[in-house]
Amino acid sequence: MSILKRPINYVDLEEELEESFKADFKYQLENDAKLRAIEQKVPTYEHFRQMVNGAHLKPLERKDTDELTKVSWNLLMKKNPNANQLSLIKNSIISMTNKEFNSYIVSKSFEEFYKEWKKLDDIENKINFLQLSRDLLPEVFQVEIPINILMEFLHTCLHALTIMENQRLTLIFVIDILTSIATCNRFRLTINFLTTHDKIVCRQLFDKILIQGQDKSIETSRIIELAKKFEVML
C-alpha cells in the first residue's frame, strides 16, 4: 500500500505533537534559567547547572505546604504502601537542606582554574564555565595567557557557535568571553606568536561571529573592534 493511502494514526500524531510541545517548553525554561543565572552572577558553575536542571520545578504554594505539615513522617509505623517512596522524598529534602555543595568554585589561581577547566567534558559546559569566570580571567592569567590555552578557548567558542541551539545567547556569551580574554596580561604578545593555523581559527571564529551578529542584531562595530584585538581584519 502506498504511504499516501495509509490511514492516519491520529493517536500517534497527538502523542508526537505533545512530546514536541514538552521538548520546546523544557528548552525555553532552561534557556530562561541560564539568563537568570547570568543576571544573578551565581558564584559557581555547580549553582548554574542546578538552576538550569531545576528550571522545570515550581515553588510550593501555601496550600501545598499546609498539606505537607499534616504528613506524618513515621509512615513505616502505619504500614503505608507509599512509605518507602515518601521516606526517600523526606531523605532527599534533608539531604538538599544540609548538603555542602561539593562543587568547584571558579578560582583565581591559574592551576586550580585550569584543573577545573580540564574536567569539563562537553562544549556547553565549557562555554558556560568561561562565561561564569569571564570577569576573573585577567586575574587567572595575570602573568600571561599561554597560546595553547588561548586556542582551547577559541576552539570552544567556535564549536559553541556551531552546535549550541540558542545561537543568540551563545553569541553574547562568546563576545563577553573574548572581550575579557583580550584584557589579560601580555595578550597582544600571545597573539603575535600565533601560528598560521591558529590565525585561521581566529579568522573562522570572527567570521562566524560577524555573520551571526548581523542575523541577531548585534552591533557590527563592536565585533569589528573586538576582532582587531585578535589581529583579525573584518
Can you spell out the DSSP letters for 7-36? Answer: PP-HHHHHHHHHHHHHHHHHHHHHHHHHHH
Alpha helices in 99-219 (DSSP H): 110-119, 123-133, 137-140, 147-163, 167-181, 187-192, 196-215
The answer, yes or no, to whether residue 225 has pLDDT greater than 90, is yes
Work out the average pLDDT over 71-86: 44
Residues forming beta bridges with residue 44, ordered by sequence position: 105
- Helix (H, G, I), strand (E, B), or coil: what is residue 230? coil
b/e code 215-234 from CB counts within 10 Å (16+ = b): eeebeeeebeebbeebebee
User: Which secondary structure element, helix H or strand E, spans residue 92, and what is its range?
Assistant: helix 83-98
- Which residues have CB under 8 Å from 204's CB, separation 6+? 158
Query: Would you say 136 and 106 are in contact if contact means Cβ atoms under 8 Å apart?
Result: yes
At 84-107, the pLDDT tens digits run 544 444 344 334 333 333 344 556
Q: Give the domain ranges of the chain.
A: 10-53, 62-98, 110-229
Dihedral sign of CA atoms 114, 120, 121, 123 in order:
negative
| Lowest mean pLDDT, pick from 11-15, 32-36, 92-96 | 92-96
C-alpha cell at 111: 592551576
Write down the pLDDT at residue 79. Answer: 44
